[in-house]
């Protein structure tokens, strides 16, 4: 019985430690080299949004932290977190981290946006 308990504890530690990942600026940037985000951005998202100041900072500070955005449109920018193409050439699921900024280039808000076909 003790052996099963120890295995269960070790299993739980492995599972919980792989769920989230501390934000790492270099891994965040490397995760997008092929033009499609890899698994690291998704794993780091919770730490990024929970432990980093993302609102009321300058646009340039955000770009310094996350790199150039994947999409830019007037007063909004976006970073791809997940893009799942399934078996098609068009995405069937996307997850993005969207930011809005003011005329003074200050980040005013962010949200995680998901879309499913």
Residue 79 counted as domain residue:
yes
Residue 44 counted as domain residue:
yes
Q: If DSSP codes are grouped into helix, strand and coil, which group holds residue 65?
A: helix
Q: Which pTM does this prediction carry?
A: 0.80
Q: How far apart are CA 16 and CA 46, in angstroms?
A: 13
Domain that holds residue 79: 20-116
Residue 6 counted as domain residue:
no
Q: How far apart are CA 13 and CA 16, in angstroms?
A: 5
Residue 3 counted as domain residue:
no
The count of domains in the chain is 1
Residue 7 counted as domain residue:
no
DSSP state of 36: S
What is the pLDDT tens value at each position of the chain, 117 positions in all?
A: 454 554 544 444 444 444 679 999 999 998 887 777 889 999 999 999 999 999 999 999 999 999 999 999 999 999 999 999 888 888 999 999 999 999 999 999 999 999 998
């Amino acid at each position: 019985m003790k052996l099963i308990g120890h295995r269960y504890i070790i299993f739980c530690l492995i599972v919980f430690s792989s769920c989230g990942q501390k934000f790492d600026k270099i891994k965040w940037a490397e995760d997008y080299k092929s033009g499609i985000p890899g698994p690291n951005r998704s794993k780091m998202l919770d730490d990024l949004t929970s432990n980093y100041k993302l609102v009321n900072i300058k646009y340039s500070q955000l770009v310094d932290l996350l790199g150039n955005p994947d999409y830019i449109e007037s007063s909004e920018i976006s970073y791809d977190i997940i893009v799942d193409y399934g078996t098609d050439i068009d995405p069937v699921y996307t997850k993005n981290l969207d930011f809005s900024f003011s005329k003074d280039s200050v980040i005013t808000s962010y949200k995680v946006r998901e879309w499913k076909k």
